[in-house]
Amino acid sequence: MLTVMRYVVIGAGAVGGSVGGRLAESGHEVVLVARGAHLAALRTVGLRLVTPEADRMLHVATAAGPDELELRGDDVLLLATKTQDSTVLLEAWGKAPVGARTAGKILPVVCVQNGVTNERLAAERFDRVYGACVWLPSTHLQPGVVVAPCAPLTGILHLGRHPDGNDDTVRAVAADLEASRIRAPVHPDVMRWKHGKLLNNLGNAFDALFEQEDSWLPLLHQAVEEGRAAYEAAGIVTTTPEEERDARGDLMRPREIAGHPRSGGSTWQSLARGLPLETEHLNGEIVRLGRLHGVPTPVNTAVTALARVAVAVGTPPRTLTVDALHLTD
């Protein structure tokens, strides 16, 4: 059984920085892969990981990509980017040499990401693919800084092999996470958990785009019902809200951290930073399933289109009203 591993975190933003930081803090060998100003800050100052119990600076190895790193047989790749970045990164890392072979042939890649398409994309390039259903609220708005406000645990990552099953590798990764303030249950049906989480993530775009939450909550409920109908038509089974609540319990409650007021979720953060949104792979996944199986998805279709426009014109977060949605039958 593989018990000593180096973790290569591809995408050391909010989630990747939290996971990589916690693993490094508990003594594991970690490489943080980032770009731009964030990479520069990690290299010159380090990763500032802010949690309810401490504000610490972690000095962790970094890389801009596979060309800067000599991969080893004991590496575990943690892909923690948004879905829109997955294809290019999986292609580059899958071809990277590991001795006389390639990473795609011998290294495990864990998709620590929202959405349900990343594992399929990874399986086209890697022989060993694992899914992680991510419950880990965190914020990355400044280069070099990640705020993870939950306690007593930083988050929960439900793990499993893709498309199903588990093995010694995923159990070893889970054990390392459990020792790093991240709960990591192992499931033989991890995609069932990820499909359930996608329904929760349908609200990300609403939270990012619209003011006055009470005005958009009825539309979000309709979007979720569209998702459930599309899943049923496609024969996709998911976790239930009760299962998810029981799994989280009181293990990860957001806390107020002085000097770091709570902001929005991952889509809000992307819009605030002027980055592409993941809406195409969240609400857009429901739209895709609806088209394939003849299920109307007017709300998810409209919010996906509006998110696309918001990025194109630079709309600030939470400045639109629901009147901006153009619903069609």
CA distances from 237 to 124, 189, 287 (A): 23, 10, 17
Per-residue pLDDT, averaged over 182-196, amounts to 98
**Residue-level pLDDT at 1:** 39
Angle, helix 283-293 to helix 298-313, in steps of 10 degrees: 140
Per-residue pLDDT, averaged over 211-223, amounts to 94
Question: Does residue 164 have a pLDDT over 50?
Answer: yes
**Residue-level pLDDT at 261:** 87
Beta bridge partners of 272: none
Confidence of residue 3 (pLDDT cuts 50, 70, 90): low
For residues 146 and 139, the answer to whether their CB atoms sit within 8 Å is: yes
All structural domains of the chain? 6-188 (3.40.50.720), 194-324 (1.10.1040.10)
pLDDT one-digit tens code per residue, 120-155: 999 999 999 999 999 999 999 999 999 999 999 999
Of 37, 43, 65, nearest in space to 140 by CA: 37
pLDDT one-digit tens code per residue, 264-298: 899 999 999 999 999 999 999 999 999 999 999 99
pLDDT one-digit tens code per residue, 19-46: 999 999 999 999 999 999 999 999 999 9
Per-residue pLDDT, averaged over 64-80, amounts to 98
d(CA 56, CA 59): 10
**Residue-level pLDDT at 223:** 98
d(CA 158, CA 142): 28
d(CA 243, CA 247): 6
Check residues 74 and 2 and name the one with the higher pLDDT: 74
d(CA 327, CA 329): 7
**Residue-level pLDDT at 328:** 75
